[in-house]
Amino acid sequence: MLRWAPFRSAALLRPRVFSRRAAFSLSSAVRAPPRRSEEKFNYNQVSFQDAPSPEQLRYKFVTANDLETLQSPPTEVKMLVRDFIEDSLYNPNYGYFPKQATIFTASDPIDFSAVRNATEFQEEVAKRYEAFEVDDEGPGRQVWHTPTELFKPWYGQAIAQSLVAEYLLKYFPYEDFVIYEIGAGNGTLARNILDYLRDVHPDVYERTRYNIIEISGNLANLQRKLLCEEHPCVSVNHQSIFKWAQAEPAPCFFLAMEVIDNFAHDMIRYDLRTMEPYQGVVSIDKNGDFSMYYTRITDPLISSFLSLRRRLWHPPPVPRLLKIAPALRSVYASLPFAPNLSAPEYVPTRMLTLLRTLRAFFPRHRLLLSDFSSLPDTVPGVCAPVVQTRVRGTTVPCETLLVKQGYFDIFFPTDFERLRDIGLPVGELKSQVFGHAEFMETYAELEGTRLKSGENPLLEYYQNVKFLF
């Protein structure tokens, strides 16, 4: 039984050629007494330096937006972790998604009723996947697939049924059926939803407006070719959702399916003496090599997230005794080789940006969101990402976030219960969290994906995926 998406399964390998080294060094066997400074290096078992070099402090501080026009990755700069991730994944000229990633698409849907059992189903998926993937010597085309593609059209029809049930209950026939989707990939989900509405609910289809917000120019063009002629109600907007500035006054449904796992996170760590949070900063030297250091939090978005978390009584991931006992913290931090910063924690600051965008420009929205709730083989840290690439059909995971920009997928798990707490209520009702199987049992036509043996991969796959609706 698979616990997560086969396309992102990780072999126990380490990258040797394609990742830049992290510039850590052991300056001495004994940590010097800490100096009070605004900047700190990674105080842990691999680094006991007290501050970054003067050269690093002189580097220009940049954001991912500042780097959009570059043709190759920058040098002699520093940036927040979320900007490093965004630049690595989305830079138009060398980012992973514009230049490397390809969504697996089978020409014909799988005939589930003709498949004998789960083993044969996995063999069928592997055969189609192998035929689609190109055998490159290096980390060339990065092929991965989604439940939308694997279970089409049944997965898309389940999403359509969840949306149309809410629409018929609350808005029909007084309001149009308005849908927004971000990160629509190849457009398969949109096509499956619209085909279902046209065939099963033609009266709803006549009142449907389907809007796609797509950051990738290549995918936006693909979506227009696939959808706009057959379904004139589709509008494709080539831009980032984080730059959206057009108000939608009507009630609408907002889809983010297999998208937020690639939303950039920031890294924070806590000073174990004072419990003061520090923000992670990535430094890139003249050779393109990376290092990480930490500064007192000055970024407004990180500050806002931490403030919201305090209001919701979401505690930081530090052992309880250290949080409540200052004397114990002092003793602990004085031990030989003891870290004086907590383990790295990755916080979903870009998810907070999305929620703010929804509040500002889609005040009557209903959010439907699905993604990973847990992941194996992550880099060290709390809520840490998986960082991996594919080389000649083999998945190669990494043990660090600091890898060459554009060649590696970086994706995060989501704490859905905490996301529900910070999300926006719909009237007096907050969104609910569903397991993948629970959601599909509620809305899917399960006979469509049942195998001869009676097994149903639509329920048995993606056990580490949840829905927020």
| 335-344 confidence digits (pLDDT tens) | 665 567 888 9
Question: Is residue 1 included in any domain, yes or no?
Answer: no
User: Half-sphere exposure of residue 370, counting CA atoms within 13 Å on the CB side?
Assistant: 27
Q: What is the pLDDT of residue 59?
A: 95
Across residues 397-421, what is the average pLDDT? 93
Question: Does 397 share its domain with 437?
Answer: yes
Q: Which CATH number covers residue 142?
A: 3.40.50.12710
Domain closes at, from 334, 350, 366: 350
Is the pLDDT at 234 greater than 70? The verdict is: yes
- Residue 174 pLDDT grade (very low, low, confident, very high; cuts 50, 70, 90): very high
Across residues 12-41, what is the average pLDDT? 31
Question: Is residue 6 included in any domain, yes or no?
Answer: no
- What is residue 440's three-state secondary structure? helix
**Which residues, 6+ apart, have CB-to-CB distance to 436 below 8 Å?**
370, 459, 461, 462, 463, 465, 466, 467
Pairwise pLDDT comparison (378 vs 17), residue with the higher score:
378
Q: What is the pLDDT of residue 271?
A: 86
Is the pLDDT at 120 greater than 70? The verdict is: yes
Is the pLDDT at 55 greater than 60? The verdict is: yes
Domain closes at, from 299, 328, 350: 350
Is the pLDDT at 203 greater than 60? The verdict is: yes
- Residue 21 pLDDT grade (very low, low, confident, very high; cuts 50, 70, 90): very low
Question: Is residue 149 included in any domain, yes or no?
Answer: yes
Question: Do the Cβ atoms of 215 and 244 come closer than 8 Å?
Answer: no
Q: What is the pLDDT of residue 134?
A: 56
Question: Does 248 share its domain with 393?
Answer: yes
Question: Is residue 305 included in any domain, yes or no?
Answer: yes
- Number of domains, the chain: 2
Q: What is the pLDDT of residue 48?
A: 39
Q: What is the bridge-based pairing of β-strands 77-80 and 101-103?
A: unpaired
In this structure, of 55-64, 243-252, 429-438, the range with the lowest mean pLDDT score is 429-438
Question: Is residue 4 included in any domain, yes or no?
Answer: no
Question: Is residue 25 included in any domain, yes or no?
Answer: yes
Task: List pLDDT tens digits, range 253-294.
Answer: 999 999 999 999 999 999 888 889 999 999 999 999 999 999
- Residue 97 pLDDT grade (very low, low, confident, very high; cuts 50, 70, 90): confident
Letter for the amino acid at 460? E
Question: Does 161 share its domain with 224?
Answer: yes
Is the pLDDT at 133 greater than 70? The verdict is: no
Question: Is residue 2 included in any domain, yes or no?
Answer: no
Q: What is the pLDDT of residue 143?
A: 56
Question: Does 336 share its domain with 253?
Answer: no
In this structure, of 1-15, 104-118, 421-435, the range with the lowest mean pLDDT score is 1-15
Owning domain of residue 428: 101-262+351-468
15 secondary structure, DSSP code: -
Letter for the amino acid at 91? N
Q: What is the pLDDT of residue 131?
A: 67
Is the pLDDT at 447 greater than 50? The verdict is: yes
Domain closes at, from 350, 365, 400: 350
Question: Is residue 5 included in any domain, yes or no?
Answer: no
Strands of the 409-411 sheet, one edge to the other: 394-397, 386-391, 409-411
